[in-house]
């Protein structure tokens, strides 16, 4: 069984012209060019990173709640004035 799938895509003529010019300058065939472009695009949206960031934001939210609870009796009025 092949590990490659063939697909057909439609591109506006102007975009296709730009793709063809760039891939020729870079010396890539169409398949290699689109593999590089698609991997680069998909790698900019890593799922693991999204989940890690969501977990980090949850931790920040919890820390903010804990700090608010700890300092709720304090008031900015009790802080020394800023130096001028």
Are the CB atoms for 11 and 19 separated by under 8 Å? yes
Are the CB atoms for 20 and 33 separated by under 8 Å? no
Which sign does the torsion angle of CA 45, 50, 52, 56 carry? Answer: positive
CA atoms of 33 and 39, how far apart (whole Å): 10
Q: What is the mean pLDDT of residues 6-25?
A: 95
Q: What is the pLDDT of residues 21-58, one digit of tens each?
A: 999 999 999 999 999 999 988 887 767 777 888 888 88
Could you give the percent of the chain with pLDDT greater than 90?
Answer: 40
**Range of lowest pLDDT (15-24, 34-43, 54-63, 64-73):** 64-73
């304090």: which residue's tokens? 74
């Amino acid at each position: 069984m092949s590990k490659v799938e063939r697909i057909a895509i439609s591109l506006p003529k102007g975009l296709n012209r730009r793709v063809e010019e760039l891939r020729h300058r870079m010396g890539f065939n169409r398949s290699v060019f689109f593999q590089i472009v698609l991997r680069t695009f998909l790698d900019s949206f890593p799922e693991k990173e999204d989940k890690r960031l969501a977990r980090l934001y949850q931790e920040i939210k919890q820390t903010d709640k804990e700090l608010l609870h700890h300092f709720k009796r304090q008031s900015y009025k009790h802080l020394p004035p800023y130096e001028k």
